[in-house]
Amino acid sequence: DAGVTQSPTHLIKTRGQHVTLRCSPISGHKSVSWYQQVLGQGPQFIFQYYEKEERGRGNFPDRFSARQFPNYSSELNVNALLLGDSALYLCASSPSPRTTNYGYTFGSGTRLTVV
């Protein structure tokens, strides 16, 4: 079975640009969560989506937005990129929005570098 798939794996953008990151959850998982992991830190929660609805939001500016599609895949969008947005962006999928144990699986992430 395929795990959580994220694309692209690496990305370089210029300050002020916009970026879209994509995530395909494990088959049967209906909830997708996004995390930002800055180098040397633990992941920080950005968003959770379930059944196309936002179920949770972390402490991130409005430049960050996301959506979930009918097939449960998800996109994370970041506008007006700043140097500080450089990070590994992780997607986690789970069967339900309350799952945080062994059913909560992370992808390998997208490494975003803003120059």
Partner 1 sequence: GQQLNQSPQSMFIQEGEDVSMNCTSSSIFNTWLWYKQEPGEGPVLLIALYKAGELTSNGRLTAQFGITRKDSFLNISASIPSDVGIYFCAGDSRGQGNLIFGKGTKLSVKP
CA distances from 5 to 40, 63, 105 (A): 23, 24, 11
Q: Considering the rule CB under 8 A, would residue 31 count as an interface residue with partner 1?
A: yes
Smaller CB separation from partner 1, 78 or 90: 90
What backbone phi and psi angles, to 5 degrees, belong to 84? -70, -5
Provide, rounded to whole angstroms, the least separation between the CB of residue 34 and partner 1: 10
d(CA 113, CA 21): 13
Structure tokens at 110: 């997208």
d(CA 104, CA 76): 18
Q: Considering the rule CB under 8 A, would residue 58 count as an interface residue with partner 1?
A: yes
Provide, rounded to whole angstroms, the least separation between the CB of residue 15 and partner 1: 25
Q: Considering the rule CB under 8 A, would residue 61 count as an interface residue with partner 1?
A: no
Smaller CB separation from partner 1, 14 or 39: 39
CA Rg value for the chain: 13
Residues in contact with partner 1 by CB under 8 A are: 4, 31, 33, 35, 40-45, 48, 50, 55-56, 58-59, 90, 92, 94, 96-102, 104, 106-109
